[in-house]
Amino acid sequence: MKTLIKGGTVITAAETILADILIEDEKIKAIGLDFSEEGITSVINALGKLVMPGGIDVHTHFDLPMFDTVSSDDHYTGHKAAAFGGTTSVIDFVSQDKETLKESVETWHKKADKKAAIDFSFHMNITHFDEKIAKEIPQLRELGINSVKVFTAYNHRLRLDDGYIIKVMRIAKESGILVLVHAENGDVIEVLVDEALRAGHTEPVWHARTRPTLGEVESVYRTIKLSELAESPVYIVHMNTKGGVDHVRDARQKRLPVMGETCPQYLFFTADYLLRPDGAKWICSPPVRSKEDNAGVWHAVEDGTMQVMATDHCPFFYDGTTPIEYEGVRIAIPGKELGKSDFTKIPNGLPGVGDRMLVMWTKGVVEGHISPNQFVQMMCTNPAKVFGLYPQKGTILPGSDADLAIWDPDREFTYGVKFSQQRTDYNLYEGWNLKGAIEKVFMRGKLIVDDQVWHGNRGGGRYIRRGEITVL
């Protein structure tokens, strides 16, 4: 099967050109002009449109158990939402719930393989550590996994102490595995949460007040120093404070192998949103911060201090007692109402996998913060390079998978829960006016989204075994 996309403006991380794209079966066959249409199965007119690589969201949580419920998107609904937002590959996190790491990965395959609608891969959480786990970490490469995540918070549940983190970093470095770190100060959080509850503070805003900015800044600095001691690269996830990104900037100026990821919520929202009657909608960990932190993170996006824009997609219903309709079926999943009388019981997480590219095109590119090439770099190419998917994914080159999104740069529309395909009952960007709409999405040459019509299917996505990491 051959498809020709004609007349579009092709945008990659490196260049912007007028070109046609010839797709043969699942791959990009050639890029150029004036291809013959003989033998072409389908011709797509992209005149006046933009053609970009499919996005890669490297930080998602589908079907994740939490607080007596589960994140409301599974590996079908979340993948479908991603596709409508121009994302064609995702990386999810495997919980360390089984006796061996391999068994934990197999459990996640059972969740994902038959439901996956776009291509996917896994990170491995390391939330307890001993000599047995130390021997298993290198074996993750045989399972196609080249990244592990550790936590400096969530005491007694997910956190590793600093000594174990250094050991994980050393093992990972020798195995060609990248260490991801969730950087917050777990000890400070424990003290402040206890004090807040003793004082009768149960409202949503106390989620942010008990996870202070200084605790995150300290933990980022400590993470960088642990990485330096271990002589290991490190990738700090969902960065959210000016002080934290300043530490990363300083480390990179010293040529230390430190990389940073942020998410749209840390550019647009503050802890003041948690004071609203529906403030639970904005509860995530780490929390949204201040206007000063928003500006600091924006600057880090603009100057390249942050390499990747992900989402930390982990959605929950705002009101899980009231069903919504999804694909013709009414569904309700317990959500943030579980913590209506205690902020510590509100499921932590936000929807975002379908919003990321649409929102960031308007707020990032249209409003002049970043160039179209920087947009592709953060959304597509850098994620692919860092996590060993490049050049199969994340770019438009002969031989790459034909993962493509065709955009109408002039179309304006009002965004929100009715537009988004995420399986939840609210959207963070409700009522936002956006400019730049995705018309068609191809995954490995197959048209899966066509003008808001879904052509994908459960099981259509493939597990991608990742290659060598790249420290940018």
CA distances from 292 to 16, 30, 206, 243 (A): 33, 46, 19, 10
Percent of the chain surpassing pLDDT 70: 100
Instruction: Give domain 55-377's CATH architecture.
Output: Alpha-Beta Barrel (3.20)
CA distances from 451 to 47, 139, 407 (A): 16, 43, 10
Cα of 34 vs its chain's centroid, Å: 37
Per-residue pLDDT band for 424 (boundaries 50, 70, 90) equals very high
φ/ψ of residue 59, rounded to 5: -140, 90
pLDDT for residue 427:
98
Model confidence pLDDT, tens digit, residues 170-193 = 999 999 999 999 999 999 999 999
Gap between the Cα atoms of 389 and 382, Å rounded = 10
Question: Hey, which bits of 306-403 come out as E strands?
Answer: 308-309, 324-326, 329-331
Gap between the Cα atoms of 354 and 429, Å rounded = 11
**Residues near 320 by Cβ (< 8 Å), separated by ≥ 6?**
69, 332, 333, 334, 335, 336, 337, 338
- Which CATH number applies to 2-52+398-454: 3.30.530.20, 2.102.10.10, 2.30.40.10, 3.30.70.20? 2.30.40.10
Task: Specify whether the CB–CB gap between 124 and 104 falls below 8 A.
Answer: yes
Model confidence pLDDT, tens digit, residues 206-234 = 999 999 999 999 999 999 999 999 999 99
Q: Average per-residue pLDDT in the chain?
A: 98
pLDDT for residue 421:
96
Question: Quick one: which of 112, 5, 108, 109 has its CA closest to 48?
Answer: 5
Residue type, 368: G
Can you say whether residue 416 is alpha, beta or left, with left for phi > 0 and alpha for psi between -120 and 50 degrees?
left
Find the mean pLDDT for residues 278-307.
98
Q: How many CB atoms lie within 10 A of CB 47?
A: 9
Report pTM. 0.98
Question: CA 79, 84, 87, 93 torsion: positive or negative?
Answer: negative
The residue extents of the domains of the chain are 2-52+398-454, 55-377
Model confidence pLDDT, tens digit, residues 99-144 = 999 999 999 999 999 999 999 999 999 999 999 999 999 999 999 9
Q: How many CB atoms lie within 10 A of CB 447?
A: 17
Q: How many CB atoms lie within 10 A of CB 29?
A: 17
Model confidence pLDDT, tens digit, residues 69-104 = 999 999 999 999 999 999 999 999 999 999 999 999
pLDDT for residue 128:
97
Per-residue pLDDT band for 15 (boundaries 50, 70, 90) equals very high
Task: Specify whether the CB–CB gap between 364 and 293 falls below 8 A.
Answer: no
Find the mean pLDDT for residues 352-381.
98
pLDDT for residue 118:
98
